Amino acid sequence: MTKAAARFALLALLLPLLLNATSILKNDLLNEAASQYIEKMGKELSDKTGVHAYVVATNEHFPPRFNLVAYSKRYEANASKPYVMLIFAPNAKLTVKSDQLGRVGLIPSSDAVKKMYNRSDVMDATIDVVASVDKNKIEDKHAIGIVQGFSELADEIADEKGVKLESTIKESRQGIWVLQWIVLAGAVLVFWMFIFRPLFSRKKHGKEK
C-alpha cells in the first residue's frame, strides 16, 4: 500500500469521528469567537453527561410551517445519540400573511432527552437578545442569541443529570465578558474584510509591480 493510499484509508476511518466531534452542524451565522465558545460548552456537556447538543445556524429562507423536524434529519448522520439539536433560522417566515421572520427549533433524539430541558426557557434565552432594541448589529445579535440559547440548554441538561458545567454563561462578569468578546470579534472581522484586507492587498500588489 502506498503512502497516499494509507493516508486516504486513515482519513476515511477518522472522518466520522471528526464529524461527530463538532457541536456545530451548520454555520451561516456564527463568528469565530461564538463558534469556539459553543464547541467548548458542547464538549464539556457531552463529557460530563453523555448527552450531545448541536447547533444548526442557517440563513436559509424557510416558508411558513416549514417542518424543522424533517429538516433536522439531513444532519442526523453527523450527530451522536442521545442529542438535542438547536436550529436557529432568522430568515424563516412565520406566517403567510405576516412578514415576520425568525424561528428557533429544538429537536431531541428521544422523549427522554426532551424531558431534560425546558423548551420555553431555551427559546427565550435565544430570542430575547435578537428581539431587543439596541445598537448591536443584527449579525452580532444572532451570534449572541445562539450562544445564550445553547448555554441555557446545556445548563438545564447538566442540572437534570446532577452535574455542573464550568464553561456556560452565568449571570456574572464572565458571561458579560464572553458576550462582549463575541461582538468585538465580529467587528474585527468586518474591519479586516472590508478595510484592512483591501488596503493590505493593494499595498502588496503595488510592491510587486
Please tell me the predicted confidence (pLDDT) of residue 68: 97
pLDDT of residue 200: 46
> What does the pLDDT read at residue 23?
96
Residue 137: the pLDDT is 83
Lowest-confidence region among 12-21, 73-82, 153-162, 170-179: 12-21
Q: Evaluate if residue 192 carries a pLDDT over 50.
A: no
Per-residue pLDDT at 97: 84
Mean pLDDT over 135-152 rounds to 88
Residue 63, all three cell numbers: 416558508
Query: What is the average pLDDT value for the chain, to the nearest integer?
Result: 80
Quick check: bond before 82 cis, omega within 30? Answer: yes
Question: DSSP secondary structure string, 63-132?
Answer: PTT--HHHHHGGGGGG-PSSEEEEEEEEEEE--SS---EEEEEEEESSHHHHTTS-HHHHHHHHHHHHHS
CA gap 173, 151 in Å, rounded: 15
Name all domains of the chain by residue range, CATH numbers in brackets. Answer: 21-208 (3.10.310.50)
Angle, in degrees to the nearest 10, between helices 119-131 and 138-161 = 160
Residue where the block lists cell 410551517 = 65
**Does position 173 have pLDDT exceeding 80, yes or no?**
no
pLDDT greater than 70 at residue 160: yes
3-class SS of residue 1:
coil
User: Does residue 56 sit in helix, strand or coil?
Assistant: strand
Q: What is the pTM of this model?
A: 0.76
Question: Which has the higher per-residue pLDDT, 26 or 195?
Answer: 26
How many beta carbons lie within 10 A of that of residue 28, not counting itself?
Answer: 14
For residue 58, pLDDT over 90 is answered with yes
The strand pair at 83-93 and 101-108 is best described as antiparallel
pLDDT of residue 16: 44
Residue 66 has pLDDT above 50, yes or no: yes
